[in-house]
Amino acid sequence: MSAPGPGGVGTPRVEWRAAWTPAEGADRARAGFAAAFGGEPAGVWAAPGRVNVIGEHTDYNAGLCLPVALAHRTYVALRPRPDGVVRLVSAQEPTAWEGRLADVGPGTVQGWAAYAVGVAWALRGAGLDVPGFDAAVDSCVPYGAGLSSSAALEGAFAVALDDVVGAGLGAHDAGRARLVAACRRAENEIAGAPTGGLDQTAALRSVPGHALALDFRDGSVRPVPARLGEHALLVVDTRAPHRNADGQYAARRAACEDAARRLGLPSLREVTDLDAALDRLAADGAPPETGRRVRHVVTENARVTRAVALLAEDRVAELGPVLTAGHASLRDDYEVSCPELDVAVDAAVAAGALGARMVGGGFGGSALALVRREDVAAVAEGVGAAFAAAGFGTPALLVAEPSGPGGRVEPAGPVADAAGGAR
């Protein structure tokens, strides 16, 4: 039996994933902390996952993206300690981690802990006097769904550690940009995933009720009102495993960098004549797939520009064809889709969605559909039926409500300094 969908209506063949309230998330994290370490944490902090409305694989090409933060968040209960030791537990992971912060560096930490302790390492490198700490994690951001559970984890640790050392970076946007840089460095150098900063920016610099227009050429961040009204953003987690660090993401990035070098450009953002660029790459002997990667990046930037204009003009329904065109580009030119994602997109549109596309890095993960709110249950039923007919597992669905950035959720007592005293 499925869980009730939006409006309380049960939808066969799918599961619904509700976001926790901040109080629920804080209680879960505190309970995990007490079980692992005893006593109270210095506080509980959280940061959101994200779904990208449009603009995939453009961030590391100095391009444009349009994410929204989710209400689904990762919660961290944390208490500093004076001996430089870090101890980590997670409700989502069977293995705890313990080590000395001074010993952390590229290649020294594997698995989920790299995203957490990597942030502490990067903040130390940025000049913050980060102490050792005990921390317990719990999360309602779906794992492996292309909804940036890794950046939610990084963002929660970033705001927590910023808070306990009293750096104050989370208090203003310029400081949050520094936290984003630390999270990105942690993911690139400690976790070994060459992501471009989109996810971390959404986790730490979002504005409630808005999408973020991100320009990775000049670093600008502009909130765009997302007045969805009678429309909803329906996320379909296909449960096809999504991985950024398995080499496929890196291969796409390397192809783009190779294309920019062949074209004599600092990035693919500078391509102004797509046909001429493709002709030049072919003449230079670039592999055919390199041209396809370039075509996706250039046309995807154009789709972001179109989407921003439509949101600004409250023409939400017209986003549908933009999303569907983006999926065709990701599937055919960037080649990062998979059968589950294609079925989710096709089934959603067939059931009444105004448009749909895969989201995230690809090779699994989630799809996003623009749906009239009155049609959410019907589209969910259509997707579930299509998955059952294809022999796939049960998909999990959520409705994305544009939410705010990471921050402190619950004081849970005075913040302790690195020597164990209150301040």
For 108, 126, 189, 253, 273, the CA distances from 102, given in Å and listed in that order, are: 11, 14, 16, 31, 49
Q: Is 404 exposed, middle or buried (0-12, 13-18, 19+ CB in 10 A)?
A: middle
Give SS3 for 363: coil
Please enumerate in sequence order all residues whose Cβ is within 8 A of that of 385, keeping only pairs 6 or more positions apart, or say none.
13, 347
Q: Given the residues 59, 162, 163, 199, select the one marked as catalytic.
A: 199
Residue 87: both structure tokens together: 């101890």
Residue 383: both structure tokens together: 């997707």
Distance between CA atoms of 126 and 165, rounded to whole angstroms? 13
Give SS3 for 32: helix
In 3D space, the residue among 401, 400, 396 whose CA is nearest the CA of residue 11 turns out to be 396
Query: Among the residues of 246-375, which ranges form H helices?
Result: 248-263, 274-283, 288-312, 319-332, 339-350
Task: Reply yes or no on whether 346 is catalytic.
Answer: no
Phi, psi of 405 (to 5 degrees): -85, 180
Distance between CA atoms of 283 and 222, rounded to whole angstroms? 39
Phi, psi of 128 (to 5 degrees): -85, 140
Catalytic amino acids?
199
